[in-house]
Amino acid sequence: MIKEIVFDSVFDAQKSFRLLLDAFSHPGTIHSFDPFELNQPNELYKSNVIIALSLFDNNISFHASSSYNLNVENYLHLNASAKIENIETADYVFLNGQNDISNLIDQCKIGDLLYPEKNATIILAVNTLSNDKIEQFDCQINLSGPGIQTTNKLFIKGLNLANLETIKSLNQEFPLGVDLILTDAFEQITVIPRSLQIEIIQNI
């Protein structure tokens, strides 16, 4: 297992953290991380690693082994110092959205009425994200709600729609629900907080 040395734990982490804050402030818009020559396991996107390196510390818990090999979880633990926990209790859950993992999403914590902020954030990997129409996309998502003036459109390639339907169902009783960070193979991310309304349009 490799300890990353290219990503500076102060300068790079702060810059990436500011990008994540901007993504949360402007939900449904695509943001791109700077490219880094990381040594992550092949099945894990660099954007997922950068999120962990920017947000995690030893007070944060995460889970990845339900969707990835154990070496992914060990790599993230080594480099981000966060605690490995079960999917039911983890603060952050890494999942591969290209497969139907709706049964795993159902197990993520949604908070309670006294502490709705004790919910999970799902980091869901897809193939491609865009705010403009792309070829062979699987679905279009129309987002509305806090932080969006009218509607933000997302076009996604490599997403099993059952996963999105499950997230939409979990978020019906706001403030309960899960927050979502979508990541793709090109160091791009977008954030969908649980407060947003999601309209799913399948590409036929």
User: Residues 21-78: pLDDT tens digits?
Assistant: 999 999 999 999 998 999 999 999 999 999 999 999 999 999 999 999 999 999 999 9
Cβ-Cβ contacts under 8 Å for 13 (sequence gap 6 or more): 7, 53, 54
Work out the average pLDDT over 137-147: 94
Q: 9: pLDDT confidence band, cut at 50, 70 and 90?
A: confident
Instruction: Using the predicted structure, report yes or no on whether residue 6 has a pLDDT greater than 90.
Output: no
- Mean pLDDT for the chain? 95
What pLDDT was estimated at residue 136? 85
Work out the average pLDDT over 2-8: 87
Instruction: Using the predicted structure, report yes or no on whether residue 147 has a pLDDT greater than 80.
Output: yes
Question: pTM of the entire structure?
Answer: 0.96
Architecture (CATH level 2) of domain 11-128+158-195? 3-Layer(aba) Sandwich (3.40)
Query: Helices 70-80 and 46-55, interaxial angle, to 10°?
Result: 40
Under 8 Å between Cβ of 201 and 186: no
What pLDDT was estimated at residue 200? 94
Query: Helices 46-55 and 11-25, interaxial angle, to 10°?
Result: 100
Domain boundaries along the sequence of the chain: 11-128+158-195
Phi-psi region of 135 (alpha: psi -120 to 50; beta: other; left: phi over 0): beta
Amino acid at 155: F
Under 8 Å between Cβ of 184 and 45: yes
- Report how far residue 167's alpha carbon sits from residue 174's, in angstroms, rounded to the nearest whole number: 12
What pLDDT was estimated at residue 77? 96
What pLDDT was estimated at residue 109? 98
What pLDDT was estimated at residue 204? 52
Q: What is the pLDDT of residues 65-121, one digit of tens each?
A: 999 999 999 999 999 999 999 999 999 999 999 999 999 999 999 999 999 999 999
